[in-house]
Amino acid sequence: MKRLSSSLTLIAIACLAAACTTRPGDPAPERVGDEIVVAGKFFHTGTPVVLWMDPGGYDAYRVEKRFAPRGEHGWDASKDTINSPNRYNTRGERAMTDAEFERHRHGQWTLDELRERIDLFVLHYDVCGTSRRCFDVLHDHRCLSVHFMIDVDGTVYQTLDLKERAWHAGPANDRSVGVELANIGAYPPASADAVLSKWYEPTPLGARLLLSKRELDALRTPGFVGYAARPGRVRGTIHGRELVMHDLTPQQYDALAKLSAALSRIFPKLAIDYPQDDAGRVLDRVLTPAELADHSGLIGHYHLTEGKIDPGPALQWGWLVEQAGREIR
C-alpha cells in the first residue's frame, strides 16, 4: 500500500486540500473534485471523482453507445444487438404504491428515502483492466450499468446518481450501490499465465501493469506507472475453485477505502463490514437467503451469485474495512 503516484493533477490537489477540513461523507456546498452525487446532492470522498457530467466522464444515462463510430452509435443502430435503450431503472419499483411510483419514476427521491433502502456496497472486478474498457463493454455491448468504476490510477468515475437502480448485481440491485474495480481478473492456475502475463510483468518493485499507449492516454494521471499492491500472484479459493490473480493497485485501495467510508456515512444502514465466518475470515461462497437478508455493508459479487468470482481472492477485505473505518474516525 506504500506506492503512490508521483503525479498529482490539479483535481487531486484540490481533493487533498478538501481532505484537510472534511471527512468522507460530509456534505459538499460546492464542487472541488472529490464529490459523489446522491439524490442530487454532493458529498465529499477525499479522493478524485469524475462525474458523468464532467468532461471525460462516463454517462450511463445516455442511450447512445459511447465508443461506437459516428452514425453507428445511436439507438436505431443498436436496437438489434442490445435489449433496451436504458441501462438502469427505478429502485424498489415492485413494492411501491402508485403514488410512490409516479414520484420516484421521475427521480424524485429524498435522501432519507434512499437511506432507508440502501445498505449494500457490491464490489466487482471488471475483467477489462481499465475503466475505459469497462464502460465500453458494460454500456455499449452488455446493456448494463454500475454506479462507480475505480481505474488503476485510483480515479473514481460515477456514472449515475445513487438514486438510480443500476444493473450490476441481480438480486441486490434494489438495495445496493455497485463499483467495478479495474482488474483483469482471476483464473484457474493452469490457465492464469496466458492472461496475467499479458497484463503484468515482474520487476524488482513488484508486478507492473502493462498498458498500451491508448490505455495510458485514457487515464487521468499523466505518466502513471501501476503496480499490484502485492508483488506476486495471489491464490485463493472461491466456490471451492482455486484461483490466481494479481492484486489491485495501492491507488485503487486508497480510493476504495475512502469511497466505502463516504457511503457508510451517507447511508447509516451500510456498515463497514463484510460477510465472514466465526473466525473473521471472509466467506468464499454464496450467502444463503437468510444470510443475505441479515447482512449490511460491503459484499462481493460472488457472495450473491454462484456463477461469479469477482472481486476475486486477492481483495484484502480486512485491510479495506480497517482503513475505511480510520477514514471516518
Asked if the structure places residue 307 within a domain, the reply is: yes
Order of strands across the sheet with 49-51? Answer: 49-51, 156-158, 148-150, 176-181, 120-125, 297-300
41, HSE (Cβ side, Cα atoms, 13 Å) = 15
pTM of the predicted protein model: 0.93
In 3D space, the residue among 38, 86, 89, 90 whose CA is nearest the CA of residue 62 turns out to be 86
Asked if the structure places residue 250 within a domain, the reply is: yes
Residue 5 is predicted with a pLDDT of 37
Residue 6 is predicted with a pLDDT of 36
Q: Given CA atoms 45, 51, 54, 57 in this order, what sign does their dihedral have?
A: positive
Asked if the structure places residue 236 within a domain, the reply is: no
Asked if the structure places residue 306 within a domain, the reply is: yes
Q: What is the mean pLDDT of residues 179-194?
A: 98
User: With 50 as the cut, is the pLDDT of residue 8 above it?
Assistant: no
The whole domain housing 181 covers 50-186+246-327
Q: pLDDT confidence of 214, banded at 50, 70, 90?
A: very high
Asked if the structure places residue 234 within a domain, the reply is: no
Asked if the structure places residue 158 within a domain, the reply is: yes
Number of domains in the chain: 1
Q: pLDDT confidence of 151, banded at 50, 70, 90?
A: very high
Beta strand 156-158 pairing with 49-51: parallel
Angle between helices 317-327 and 250-266 (to 10 degrees): 60
Asked if the structure places residue 26 within a domain, the reply is: no
Instruction: Return phi, psi of residue 103, to 5°.
Output: -75, -45
Asked if the structure places residue 225 within a domain, the reply is: no
Query: What CATH number should be reported for the domain holding residue 104?
Result: 3.40.80.10
Is the CB of residue 258 less than 8 Å from the CB of residue 326? no
User: With 70 as the cut, is the pLDDT of residue 13 above it?
Assistant: no
